[in-house]
Chains A and B, each alone.
Chain A
Amino acid sequence: MEIKYTVQGLLIYIAMGAYLLAFVTTLLRHRKTGRVLYLFGFIVAVLSFGYRWYDVGHVPLQNLFEVFLCLGMIYPVTLFCYRFLRVGGLCGDMLIGAIVLLPAGFVFNAEPQRLPPALQCWLFVPHVAVYAISYIFMAKATFQAICELAGTRHNGEENLSGPEEGTCRMICMGFPFLTLGLVLGSWWGKVAWGDYWGWDPKELWSLASWLVYVGYFHFRYMFGKKYQHLNSVWAIAGMTVIVVTLLWVNLSRLFAGLHSYAT
């Protein structure tokens, strides 16, 4: 764990602080202040991402530090889900924003790196970006699933879907991105390494996460809302596999492979 005494670090810490304050004030029922703080945190997170982009000279999605920095810009997803899909979880999103910035701020090395030859491909940005977007939706789905299992409802929010329905909507939004990420990655693998599927640990874990959500859809189709808790368990299992795909595969020596550079 290291504190970053740089402009980059400062921006990350301010965004994190704003997200955490937003979370606390929303919990204390000062919803308006919470939203303003959340918006402020988002603006700082965008500045931090932009600063990094300027610093490294390419879209900053090369390593885990940059991916987590990108995940910190969660606000538009919250707004979209709330306005258009009627899925709440504002408080959860504020917490997710702070949690994903935590490894960027304290764990991962922020030393700028030049792109290795394999990453100099137009597929690099869309592949990583769609995965990042899908992960945000799946994280929101997990929050909804936990609410379902815990039996909590949204307080004071009218016209919002219930947690089980919310979980499904979030997965419906995120799964196409997850599929696109997998397919783009496979295509890129063919262009860069000569094979569209190399059975690399990262590829296998990402396939496993995709399959868990495929299982979710089939299970939900078979039983509908008969076993709502089990539907939620599928959603949480999906997120668990995503966390392994994103973190454990790159950080553990157990899974050395073609994607090790992304650490």
Chain B
Amino acid sequence: MSRFRKVIMWAGLALIILLIALSIYGAFIGAERAQKLVNTLPAAVYWSAFIFILTAGLAVFKRLIRVPALSLIHCGCILTLAGAMWGSEAGHKMQSQLFGIDKIPTGQMAIYEGETENHVAVEDVEQIKELPFSIKLKDFRLEYYKPEYLQVRSRDGEGWKVPVEVGTEFSLGEDFGTVTILRAFENFKIRIEGEQRIITDDPASGHNPALEVRIKSPAGDKETRYVFERFPGHTHAEDELLLSYRRVIRDYVSELEIIKDGKVVAEKNIEVNHPLYYGGYHFYQHSYNAEAGQYTILMVTSDTGLGLVYAGYAMLCVGVFWQLWVRNIFARKKKIK
């Protein structure tokens, strides 16, 4: 191996070892600080040096060009790094200054039900920017796993999962009697009229899921209790059975419409793992108003550099399988035969 090749090889190995050390250090300091660290100027120099060494390797080692699988692996790494740098915040700033392309790298937008919004709160710089189109939130909803369960626990630790089926009596054994769910509420409300308590499931905005439960003791005594999802641990000292009601969220759904020049140009119900793509941006279900489900929070990310990164991934995967399986393992196996 010539002296120059050796230098390239050692430099490559040194950069790999440095990146291992940086990755481990980054894991200890947490995602937020690690992200800041890799976006600093020294880090940009490091990423550029990595791209340079990979390119120099392709130029110096003829084998990397002659063997297509090795070319794919190394070119894939270059594309991935280049795409990541191009799509980074610094990359967006550079594109804005050099080419006048003013895209929002990443940010969040909160939209109330029935309202239209085009303002994005840009992360880090605490700035509000506008999209060239608007988004309308038609509806936001939470979906839950079925069946839902009422959890029943005795003072001595015995437990039961009672399916929420209104009117069905569920036996807790000889010592504890039975439990019957009488009503299930989405938005429990109570008001006093005269001397009467009026309990309703209010269809207006609000979110207070609850169950009306009748407990029948082995002696035949009946007791009615209310169990609230949002207020667990609501029990009295004399209660023999502790009740709790907790539903498991299956999905968060925002029904969106994209509006441009007063016309609906796209619409989609976005969920976790099902973002909306329009106008060079991806829109993700990020968060929501936990109190009443009145508004949703979308994460907005630009697609700049993404194509390069994905192309790099594809080349890397094809190259690695080709080189290590097809060329290395199975070719060697043939040789052994």
What residues of chain A have their CB less than 8 Å away from a CB belonging to chain B? 84-86, 114, 116-118, 120-121, 169, 172-173, 175-176, 179-180, 183, 186-187, 190-201, 204-205, 207-208, 211-212, 214-215, 218-219, 221-222, 249, 254-258
B316–A183 touching, CB < 8 Å: yes
Task: Beyond the given A196-B306, A204-B23, please list 10 additional residue pairs across the A-B interface where CB-CB is below 8 A.
Answer: A114-B145, A118-B272, A176-B317, A180-B317, A183-B313, A192-B272, A198-B35, A199-B38, A211-B20, A222-B13
The interface residues of chain A lying within 8 Å CB-to-CB of B332 are 169
> Cα distance A199–B301 when bound, in Å?
16
**Top 10 nearest A-B pairs by Cβ distance?**
A117-B272, A199-B34, A201-B27, A208-B23, A204-B27, A121-B273, A194-B284, A172-B324, A204-B23, A199-B35
The interface residues of chain B lying within 8 Å CB-to-CB of A175 are 320, 324
A205–B250 touching, CB < 8 Å: no
> Cα distance A255–B25 when bound, in Å?
11
Q: Render B12-26 as a binary contact track against A, CB cut-off 8 A, 1 for contact.
A: 110011011001101
The interface residues of chain B lying within 8 Å CB-to-CB of A193 are 284
Q: Which of B312-330 contact A (CB under 8 A)?
A: 313, 316-317, 320-321, 324-325, 328-329
Tell me if B9 counts as interface (CB < 8 A to partner A).
yes
Q: Contacts A117-B252, A117-B273, A120-B272 given; indicate if A194 touches B286 (C-beta within 8 A).
A: yes
Task: Select which of B13, B28, B324 is within 8 A of A219 by beta carbon.
Answer: B13
Tell me if B240 counts as interface (CB < 8 A to partner A).
no
Task: Select which of B9, B26, B310, B321 is within 8 A of A204 by beta carbon.
Answer: B26
B273–A172 touching, CB < 8 Å: no
A196–B309 touching, CB < 8 Å: yes
> Cα distance A255–B33 when bound, in Å?
13
Q: Contacts A176-B325, A186-B313, A196-B309 given; indicate if A117 touches B251 (C-beta within 8 A).
A: yes
The interface residues of chain B lying within 8 Å CB-to-CB of A180 are 317, 321
Counted as pairs of residues, one from A and one from B, with CB atoms less than 8 Å apart, the total is: 124
B320–A179 touching, CB < 8 Å: yes
Pairs across A and B, CB under 8 Å, 12 listed: A86-B336, A114-B250, A118-B272, A173-B329, A180-B321, A198-B31, A199-B26, A207-B23, A211-B16, A249-B27, A257-B30, A257-B31
Q: Contacts A194-B275, A204-B27 given; indicate if A211 touches B19 (C-beta within 8 A).
A: yes
The interface residues of chain A lying within 8 Å CB-to-CB of B329 are 85, 169, 172-173
The interface residues of chain A lying within 8 Å CB-to-CB of B301 are 194-195
**Which A residue sits closest to B300, measured CB to CB?**
A194
The interface residues of chain A lying within 8 Å CB-to-CB of B16 are 211, 214-215, 218
The distance from the CB of B310 to the nearest CB of chain A, in whole angstroms, is 8
Tell me if B58 counts as interface (CB < 8 A to partner A).
no
The interface residues of chain B lying within 8 Å CB-to-CB of A249 are 27
Q: Render B94-108 as a binary contact track against A, CB cut-off 8 A, 1 for contact.
A: 000000000000100
